[in-house]
Chain A
Amino acid sequence: MTAVADPALADAGLALADATPGSVFAASVLQTGFFAGLAEFLRPSNLAGVLVNGLAKSALFVMIAAGLSLIFGLLGVLNFAHGSLTMIGAYLGGLVMVVLVGGATGAWARLGYFLVALVVVFAALAVLGLVVEVGLIRQLYDSPPIYQILLTFGVTLVLEELVRIVVSFYGLQPISDWQEALGTKPAFLARQTTLGPVTVRGLALFEILLGALTVVGIWLFLTRTRYGLFIRAGSEDDEMAAALGIDVRRVFTVVFALGSALAGIAGALLMWDPVWGASVPLAAETLLPAFVVVIIGGLGTFRGTVVGAVIVGMADAVTTWWFVNVVTWTWLPEVTVFLILVGMLVVRPQGLYGVEEVGGH
C-alpha cells in the first residue's frame, strides 16, 4: 500500500531526491541532512501538499474502516473478511464501470456511472454480508470470540480464492491492478489540479469529498434515525437493548450487511486510485490499515474510527513525503503506522475513545 510513492508527492518535492540508494541506516539520510529536509518539509507549499494528501488518505482509511468499526462495536466480531469484501467491491465496481463506460463517454457521464456503480456495489455487498451473517456468523455468537475471528478468517480464504478463480477465468492477472478499471476515471480526476499554492491530484479531492460524505452519512444514520438508536443502544449493552424490546439479532444482521456494503463502496473508490487498484492482494492491503485505524480509535466507537483514520492518514502522508524526498527507507510509512498501533496499545489499550469492557478485554 503505502510503499508506493505517491506521484503528487514526488512532484511536490524539490530536487532533494538525489539520494544514494543502497545505503543503510545512518547513511540513508541525504547529504543535505535532516535539518535541510525539515526546512524543505516546512515550506508552505510542501506542507499544504502533504496536508491534502493526508486528508485524502484519511478519507480512504475511514471508508475502509467504518464498516469494520460498526460491526465490531455491535457484534463484537473482529471481521477478518472485511478486506476481502473491500476487494470484491473493487472488482464489482470496476466491472460496472468497464461495462458502462466507453471510450467516448464524457467526464460527467463517467461520474454519473460511478454513482450507479456505488449503488450496485452497496446492494450486492449488503446481500453478501447478509448471507455470511445469517449463514455462518450467527451460529457462533455464543462461542468464545476467538472462534469468530477464525470463522471470518476462513471466509476470507474462500472469498479470495473464488475471486481469483473468476478473475483469472476472464483472463485478468489476479495479483496486478485492473488497468481497464483504472482507465474509466473521468479525465479531470486523473489530472493534477492547482489549488492556490499547491498542486494536487484531482482524485485526492474526490476522495476527500466522498470520505466526508460517508462520515456525515453514517453520523446522521447513527444519531438521527431510529435504527441508529438501536445500534448505539446495542453497542452499549445488547442484553439491555434486547430487554427493552429491540430485536437485537435483527439489528446484528442489518449492521453486518451495512458494514459489508460500506467495505464494498470503499473498494469501488479504491478501484480508481492507482496507488491501490482492484486486485486480489487489495484484501490484505486494506485489512491491516483498517485494523490499525479501528484499534487506534477504540474498538466500537465511530468517532474514534474517524479520528484514528485522520491520525493514520496524516502519519502516512508525512512519512511518505520524507521517504520520497529525504530518506531512502522504503519501510518508513508502513513501519510508522504500525508503531503508532503498538504505541497506542501499550499506552491506552482501549484506544482513544474506547471503553475498557468492549471486546472482552
Chain B
Amino acid sequence: MSRHQVRVLVVLALAAYPALYHLLTQSPVGVEAETLLPRMDTMVALLYFGLFAVSFDFISGYTGYLSFGHAAFYGTGAYFVVLVANGKIPLVPSGTPFMITLLCAGLVAALLAVGIGLVSFRLSGVYFAMITLGFAQVLYVFVRGLEWISSNPRDGASVSGSTHPEGFEVGVPFVDGLNLAIGPLSGDTVTLLGHTLGTNAVSFYLVGAVVLACYLAMQRIIHSPFGQVMVAIRDNEERAEAIGYDTFRYKMGAFVTSGFFAGVAGGLFAGFRRSVTPENTFYFLVTGDALLASIIGGFGTLAGPIFGHFFDESIREFLSPAGQGGGLLPYLQTRLSEGVLSAEVGGLTVEGFIEAALNGHASLYVGIVFVLFVLYVPNGLVGAARDRLGGPVTEKLPDRLWDR
C-alpha cells in the first residue's frame, strides 16, 4: 500500500491549503504569506486548468501524439455549460443539475474528439499537431463570429442572470441537501465548528473533488492494459502494430477519453467563472499553457502537469499587475521605505523597474524556465524525480524516506 501514501499526502496537503492559507495570512508573517502563496481563487483555477493539462498530457505525453488543438475540447465543455445555463441547447433545459450538465459537456467534447480523431489519426508527428491545431482554430474563429452564442460573440458569453441566477451546484444531483454551489460570488459558504469557509474555499473543495475523481479515473486507465498499449504506441508504434494491436483504435480511445476530461475541465471553469471568452477557451495559447504545465511538471507523468501549472500560476500571481491581490509590488510597497522605492539607478526608479520589467510580465520568466526545462530537464519535475529515484515517485519515495 506504500504507493498510496505519497498520493494521500499530496491530496491532504491540498485539502489543508485553505486552512493553511487562512492561518498564515492572519499570522505575524501574514504579509509575506499573502505575497508568496497563491490566493484561493487562483487555487481553484489551478485545479480545473490542472485537470485540462492532465487530459492534454494523457494523450500527448502517453501516446506521443501532440494534440495541439486540445483547447477545442476545453472550449467546447466551457461553452456548453454556459449555453445550457442560458437555455440555448435543445433537450438540456437551463435548470439541469450542474453535475449532469458537466457530464454532458464531457460527452459533447468526446463526440467532437471522435470527429477530429477520425480525420487526424490518419497522420502523425508534426502533421498531427498541425491538423488538430487547424481544427481548434476553425472552432475558435467560428465561436468568435457566431451570433447565436451571445450578442457579442467576440467577447464571449456569460451566464445570464435571468435564466440561471443561482450558482452551479456540485454534489449528488436531485438531492438538495447534498449540493453546494461553486463560484467566487454565487457560491455557497459553509460554517463548520464556528469557522466560516468562504465561497472560494468551498469551490476549491468541490472542484477538487471532481478533479480528483477524474484524475483517479485517468490514472486507472493509464495503469490498465489499455494504458500500456498507449505507452507502447509512444515508444514504438510499428512494433505495437506488429504485435497485433489495432493502434488506430487505441489512439482513438485515448483521444476521446482525453477529450472527455478536457470537456469536464472546461465545464468546471465555466461553472466557476460563469463567463467564457474565445481567448481563454478555444485559442491555441490555451493549449500552449497546458503544454507549459506538462513540460515543466513532467511530460508523460499524470501528476506532473498539476505541479507544472502550480508553478506557472504561482509565478504569474507573484508578478501580477499591481492591485490584484498579493504579489511582489504590493509587498515591497508595504515593506520598503519610499526612499528605497524611488531610488534612481541610471534614471530608473526601483518601483519603475519592477513596474516595467516584472509586473504582469510573468510570461517572460515562465518562458525562460520553460526553455531551460526543454533543454536540461526534458522529463520535467516529476520525471526528473522519477529518474533520480529509479521508478515511479509514488513507489520509490516512501522507501527512500522510511525504510532507509
- Contacts from A to B (Cβ < 8 Å): 3, 22-25, 78, 136, 139-140, 143, 145-147, 149-151, 153-158, 160-162, 164-165, 168-169, 284, 288, 291-292, 295, 299, 329-331, 334-335, 338-339, 341-342, 345-346, 349, 359-361
Contact = CB atoms under 8 A, between A and B. Distances in A.
Given A157-B292, A162-B364, A330-B145, 10 more contacts: A157-B364, A157-B366, A157-B367, A288-B137, A295-B127, A338-B138, A346-B131, A349-B122, A360-B125, A361-B124
B134 interface: yes
B361 A359 contact: no
A339 B138 contact: yes
Contacts of B178: none
Contact of A154 (B137, B142, B357, B367): B367
Contacts of B125: 145, 359-361
B142 A150 contact: no
A151 B356 contact: no
Contact of B141 (A23, A147, A158, A335): A335
Interface of B: 64, 66, 119, 122-127, 129-131, 133-135, 137-138, 141-142, 144-148, 284-285, 288, 291-292, 295, 356-357, 361, 363-364, 366-368, 370-371, 374-375, 378
A156 B374 CA distance: 14
In order of increasing CB-CB distance, the 3 nearest A-B pairs are A157-B367, A331-B145, A161-B364
Given A329-B145, A331-B146, A345-B127, A164 B138 contact: no
A154 B126 contact: no
A160 B374 CA distance: 18
B363 A161 contact: yes
Nearest to B283: A284
A164 B357 CA distance: 10
A147 B378 CA distance: 8
Chain A binding surface, main DSSP class: helix
Contacts of B66: 146, 149
B137 A361 contact: no
Contacts of B356: 165, 168-169
Contacts of B364: 157-158, 161-162, 165
Nearest to B140: A334
Contacts of A22: 147
Contacts of A169: 356
A342 B127 contact: no
A139 B374 CA distance: 10
Nearest to A168: B356
B361 A161 contact: yes
A136 B371 contact: yes
A165 B142 contact: no
Given A342-B135, A360-B125, A361-B126, A24 B371 contact: no
A342 B131 contact: yes
Nearest to B348: A169
A154 B135 CA distance: 23
